[in-house]
């Protein structure tokens, strides 16, 4: 009996140098073949796809290879009467794509091609009674949208239009026993949500409300023996968590708690040397080695231990029997999403071939300096 | 985007695949165009439902289609009787379930299901709970399903005890159930509510938030150092301090007025310190025993080691100091990826122990030398300290919080790796600083010292900065008041 420790094994032949030129070529060509299957099926997130592509090109100093005029016209065609912006023409507006659009226009210093006041009204109108934000008029609530709202308004210099106290109160109500954050109050901690919430608290000047030591520990425990990071306990590593987890650690001042060299190796191994771009994890056939190293893992979660005035102790003891065994997997496909987060992760790790990236906005630091936005980070 | 596979194959297979994809793509594009055309034409009919159904079954993340579907359903509602509306939405639930089978992690599907339940004249929460059970039996970590379950439980009034039993079952059949453990952490406080957090402590406002790990609660103190006009404190009594103690249940509070050297400052401190009750103490003691037994079986187990450290701190931080240090050493060996974390945590505990060993706030001379410190914390507890020794550690910086040490007169911080002196800023009483053998590299690293107007002695021997051109004259320009400078 046992639970596998989910992880990947990096082959010795995996890429170990950064192939920036190949990635730039990959992104520059992406979407030019408009009859591409993947491309068409991902139309529902096109605005974010463009943001990912442009940001990674800018980080690599290759932004000029993208079609600025075409993109700006596209964004203009996506702003609806309500002020919100959609992922693509004919699609409905949503906070996610409103943020992506504002980020793109910030990169291009062309924010005024859209009706900014209407965007602000749209965002403001999505705040609910309890301080949370809906993604659109259909009412889905998620802390991701709290982040989208304040990030959008911060980039537009209009944070003052929302009820800040309530917005903060809602996000804090999503904090869990482990110091992390979930989608809604009571939701399990997840690295993506943690990125959104720590980013939110940074923008709103409330980082002191985070338990940095507790959250930092949870985050550094995302690092697996392969060096890669997962998004929550007992999940497989994924290069996009090199961003969500790493940026969160940077925001709360604990980035030194992960093994940077091992993470870098993992990220580099996710590159595709043939096509350029990054996949979610390293590829190539690996025969499964039944390396049964049975290890009795004792995991004790001290839940709510010794809090002031608690009558009953929530100490619970579980014994986890773990068998360590590498997972069989095969080559994985690259995409712009994982390419951005691989490169951005490497930037946060200090790679000097890449421009410094801002951990809150996932945009080049020089763009934010130009705008005059320097959100707080914890030491 | 996640977990997609590129499988290498022959040229012929590639060509076949390409043709197949082209066909699929054409079908998708024509269906998509047809739907968007209908929508632009304002058509909200059965055909719209059929077309969107086709597309959403394999593209559940195409959010605009769910929106259109909702518009159609709302339109159809207006021309139907209640029982027909019930049927309409029940068949919608069937459809959503089919989509969930294909993609159980689609935000769009789950949200639409929640929306449908708000439109159903008679929602069937038992069925919804059953759906959650089935879904979780396939994937216990599906957070969409857990979140949906929480809504169902709330609407249908399932009891906390029942849900706790549900988590018992799941954990009983498979320990690897962080999602269940997390759920328990939100259920248990509902069964055993905490009293409201007091204003003097730093507990977070959320009922689901974690109270801090035990060792931190000793240091929930609010301190403030105030300057008073001269002559405020009369010389009637010889007492230097006035302290008021009181107890609320298990919490002790102090409010202490301390006079400074020249009787011109008061330290106001409100400190909450809790004692462990006998019940808590014995439960923790039992846990510690169990863990130690497990450690004998598995001496390299990091979870066990870390938990023992935390339990020991909860019970007797000073008494267990030696053992704690030994365990930290083992931890760094068995889990080297996180050795920075363990070093910082160990540093924090050593600083806490040093503070505990001294009589609170009477401390004027504070030594933390030779403790392998990688980080500084609890500086807010050292407001009256006049002499501090941080020598022979592994500190990289004096953080901004260092500026709280407003009474500081002498700082010794030799033999570290200090590059940044951000925290040596506006320290009005600071006279002497020793930073021998550190990593001060540039003149700009020393700029903050210019704001310490009483600084006269500065020892910078063994720092790379001495290699800077004209360093003597540069320094005398930057820090004209420093008379004894060693480079």
- What residue spans define the domains of chain B? 12-123, 271-361, 363-486
Write the pLDDT tens digit of every residue in B45-91.
Answer: 999 999 999 999 989 999 999 999 999 999 999 999 999 999 999 99
**pLDDT for B284 beyond 80:** yes
* Closest by Cβ to B8, choosing from A216, A307, A331: A331
Sign of CA dihedral A158, A163, A168, A170: negative
What is the SS3 assignment for B234? Answer: coil
- Report the mean per-residue pLDDT for chain B: 86
Q: What is the mean pLDDT of chain A?
A: 88
Mean pLDDT, range A36-46, rounded to an integer: 92
Q: Where are the domains of chain A?
A: 20-285+331-371
pLDDT in tens, A135-165: 999 999 999 999 999 999 999 999 999 999 9
Domain B271-361 of CATH type 3.10.450: no
* Contacts of A171 by beta carbon, 8 Å cutoff, 6+ apart: A131, A143, A146, A181, A197, A200, A201
Q: Residue A307: what pLDDT?
A: 44
B146:A188 CB<8 A: yes
The residue-averaged pLDDT of B416-422 equals 95
3-state DSSP assignment of residue B252: strand
Q: Which whole number is the average pLDDT over A249-255?
A: 98
The pLDDT of residue B381 = 85
Q: What is the pLDDT of residue B93?
A: 98
pTM of the predicted protein model: 0.89
Residue A285 has pLDDT above 60, yes or no: no
Lowest-confidence pick of A109-123, A274-288, B26-40, B41-55: A274-288
How many separate helices (H) and strands (E) can be counted in chain B? Answer: 15, 10
The predicted complex's ipTM stands at: 0.88
Contact B178 A223 (CB under 8 A): no
Which pair of tokens denotes residue A158? 């209009």
A289-320 pLDDT tens trace: 322 222 223 333 444 444 444 343 333 333 33
Least confident range of A43-57, A242-256, A320-334, A343-357: A320-334
A31 pLDDT more than 90: no
| CB < 8 Å from A in window 343-372 of B | 344-345, 348
Q: What is the pLDDT of residue B176?
A: 79
pLDDT band at B273 (very low <50, low <70, confident <90, very high): low
* Cβ atoms A292, A311 nearer than 8 A: no
Query: What mean pLDDT do residues B476-485 have?
Result: 88
Q: Are the C-beta atoms of A6 and A234 separated by less than 8 Å?
A: yes
**Does domain A20-285+331-371 match CATH 3.30.830.10?**
no
Which CATH number is B12-123 given? 1.25.40
- Tell me how far apart the alpha carbons of residues A339 and A156 are, in angstroms, rounded to a whole number: 27
What whole-number distance in Å separates Cα of residue A166 and Cα of residue A168?
5
Distance CA B171, CA A12 (A): 38
Q: Using one digit for the tens of pLDDT, what is the confidence trace for B311-337? A: 999 999 999 999 999 999 999 999 999
Residue B111's pLDDT is what?
98
pLDDT for res A302: 42
Contact B301 A296 (CB under 8 A): yes
Give the residue-averaged pLDDT of A277-298.
51
Instruction: Suggest the residue from A176, A298, A338 to mutate for an interface test with chain B (most B CBs closer than 10 A).
Output: A298
Better-scored residue on pLDDT, A67 or B221: A67
Residue A8 pLDDT exceeds 90: yes
Residues of B whose CB is below 8 A from A299: 303
Do A176 and B192 lie within an 8 Å CB cutoff?
no
| pLDDT over 60 at B19, yes or no | yes
A283:B6 CB<8 A: yes
Closest CA of chain B from A110, distance in Å: 27
C-alpha separations of A254 from B157, B212, B423, B459 in Å: 42, 18, 18, 31
pLDDT at A294: 27
| B399 in reach of chain A (CB within 8 A) | yes
Q: Which CATH superfamily is domain B363-486 in?
A: Ribonuclease Inhibitor (3.80.10.10)
User: Rounded to an integer, what distance in angstroms lies between the CA atom of residue B87 and that of residue B119?
Assistant: 11
Residues of B in contact with A259 (CB under 8 A): 336-338
The pLDDT, as a whole number, for residue A324 is 35
According to the 3-state scheme, what is the secondary structure of B270-325? EEEEECCCHHHHHHHHHHHHHHHHHHHHCCCCHHHHHHHHHHHHHHCCCCCHHHHH
Q: Assign B196 a pLDDT band (cuts: 50, 70, 90).
A: low
Q: Is B103 on the interface with A (CB under 8 A)?
A: no
Least Cα separation, residue A187 to chain B (angstroms) = 6
Mean pLDDT for A200-219 is 97
Q: What is the pLDDT of residue B11?
A: 82
A108-112, A327-331, B11-15, B140-144 — which is least confidently predicted? A327-331
Nearest to A186 by CA among B149, B27, B112: B149
Taking residues A76-89, what's their average pLDDT? 98
> Of the spans A304-308, B173-177, B276-280, B416-420, which averages the highest pLDDT?
B416-420
Contact flag B6-A223 (C-beta cutoff 8 Å): no
């Amino acid at each position: 009996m046992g639970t596998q420790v989910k992880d990947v094994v990096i082959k010795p032949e995996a890429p170990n140098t950064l192939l920036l030129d190949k990635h730039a070529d990959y992104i520059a060509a992406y979407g030019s073949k408009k009859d591409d299957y993947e491309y068409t099926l991902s139309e529902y997130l096109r605005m974010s796809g463009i943001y990912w592509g442009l940001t990674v090109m800018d980080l690599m100093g290759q932004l000029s290879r993208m079609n600025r005029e075409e993109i700006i016209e596209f964004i203009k065609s996506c702003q609806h009467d309500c002020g919100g912006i959609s992922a693509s023409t004919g699609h409905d507006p949503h906070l996610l794509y409103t943020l992506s659009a504002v980020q793109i226009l910030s990169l291009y210093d062309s924010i005024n091609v859209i009706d900014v006041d209407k965007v602000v009204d749209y965002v403001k109108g999505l705040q609910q009674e309890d301080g949370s934000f809906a993604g659109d008029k259909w009412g889905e609530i998620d802390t991701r949208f709290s982040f989208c709202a304040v990030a959008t308004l911060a980039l537009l210099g209009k944070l003052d239009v929302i009820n800040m106290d309530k917005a903060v109160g809602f996000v804090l109500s999503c904090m869990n026993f482990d110091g992390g954050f979930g989608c809604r109050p009571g939701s399990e901690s997840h690295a993506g949500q943690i990125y959104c919430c720590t980013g939110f608290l940074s923008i709103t000047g409330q980082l002191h409300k985070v338990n940095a030591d507790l959250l930092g520990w949870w985050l550094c425990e995302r690092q697996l023996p392969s060096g890669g990071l997962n998004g929550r306990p007992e999940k497989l590593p994924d290069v996009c968590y090199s961003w969500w987890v790493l940026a969160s650690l940077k925001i709360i001042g604990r980035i030194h708690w992960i093994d940077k060299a091992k993470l870098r190796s993992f990220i580099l191994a996710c590159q595709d040397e043939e096509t350029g771009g990054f996949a979610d994890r390293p590829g190539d056939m690996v025969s499964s080695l039944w390396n049964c190293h049975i290890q009795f893992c004792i995991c004790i979660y001290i839940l709510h231990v010794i809090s002031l005035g608690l009558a009953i102790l929530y100490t619970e003891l579980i014994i986890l029997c773990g068998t360590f065994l590498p997972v069989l997997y095969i080559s994985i496909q690259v995409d712009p999403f994982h390419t951005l987060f691989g490169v951005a992760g490497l930037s946060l790790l200090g790679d000097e071939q890449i421009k410094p990236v801002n951990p809150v906005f996932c945009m080049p630091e020089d763009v934010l300096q130009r705008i005059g936005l320097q959100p707080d980070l914890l030491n | 985007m996640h977990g997609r596979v590129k499988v290498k194959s022959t040229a012929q297979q590639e060509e076949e695949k390409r043709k197949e994809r082209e066909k699929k793509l054409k079908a998708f594009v024509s269906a998509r165009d047809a739907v968007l055309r209908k929508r632009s034409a304002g058509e909200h009919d059965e055909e719209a439902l059929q077309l969107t159904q086709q597309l959403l079954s394999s593209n559940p993340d195409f959010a605009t289609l769910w929106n259109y579907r909702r518009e159609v359903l709302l339109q159809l509602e207006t021309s139907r009787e209640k029982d027909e509306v019930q049927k309409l939405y029940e068949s919608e639930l069937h459809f959503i379930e089919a989509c969930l089978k294909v993609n159980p992690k689609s935000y769009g599907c789950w949200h639409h299901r929640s929306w449908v339940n708000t439109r159903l004249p008679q929602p069937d929460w038992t069925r919804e709970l059953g759906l959650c059970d089935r879904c979780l039996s396939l994937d216990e970590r599906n957070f969409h399903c857990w979140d949906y379950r929480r809504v169902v439980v709330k609407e249908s009034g399932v009891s906390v005890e029942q849900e706790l039993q549900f988590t018992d079952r799941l954990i009983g059949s498979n320990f690897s159930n962080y999602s269940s453990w997390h759920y328990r952490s939100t259920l248990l406080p509902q069964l055993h509510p905490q009293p409201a957090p007091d204003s003097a402590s730093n507990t977070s406002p959320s009922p689901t938030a974690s109270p801090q790990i035990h060792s931190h609660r000793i240091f929930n103190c609010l301190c403030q150092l105030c300057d008073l006009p001269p002559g405020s404190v009369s010389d009637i009594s010889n007492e230097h301090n006035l302290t008021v103690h009181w107890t609320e249940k298990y919490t002790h509070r102090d409010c202490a007025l301390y006079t400074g050297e020249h009787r011109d400052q008061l330290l106001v401190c409100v400190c909450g310190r809790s004692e462990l009750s006998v019940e808590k103490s014995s439960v923790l003691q039992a846990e510690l025993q169990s863990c130690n037994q497990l450690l004998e079986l598995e001496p390299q187990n990091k979870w066990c080691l870390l938990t023992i450290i935390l339990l020991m701190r909860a019970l007797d931080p000073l008494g267990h100091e030696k053992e704690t240090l030994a365990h930290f050493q083992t931890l760094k060996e068995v889990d080297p990826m996180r050795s920075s974390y363990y070093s910082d945590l160990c540093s924090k505990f050593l600083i806490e122990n040093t503070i505990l060993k001294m009589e609170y706030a009477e401390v004027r001379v504070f030594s933390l030398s030779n403790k392998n410190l990688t980080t500084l914390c609890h500086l807010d507890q050292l407001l009256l300290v006049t002499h501090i020794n941080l020598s022979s550690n592994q500190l990289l910086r004096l953080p901004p919080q260092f500026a709280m040490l407003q009474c500081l007169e002498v700082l010794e911080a030799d033999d570290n790796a200090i590059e940044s002196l951000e925290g040596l800023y506006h320290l009005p009483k600071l006279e002497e600083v020793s930073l021998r053998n550190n990593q001060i590299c540039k003149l700009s690293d020393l700029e903050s010292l210019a704001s310490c107007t009483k600084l006269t002695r500065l020892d910078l021997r063994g720092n790379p900065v001495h290699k800077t051109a004209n360093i003597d004259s540069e320094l005398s320009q930057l820090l004209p008041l420093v008379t004894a400078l060693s480079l």
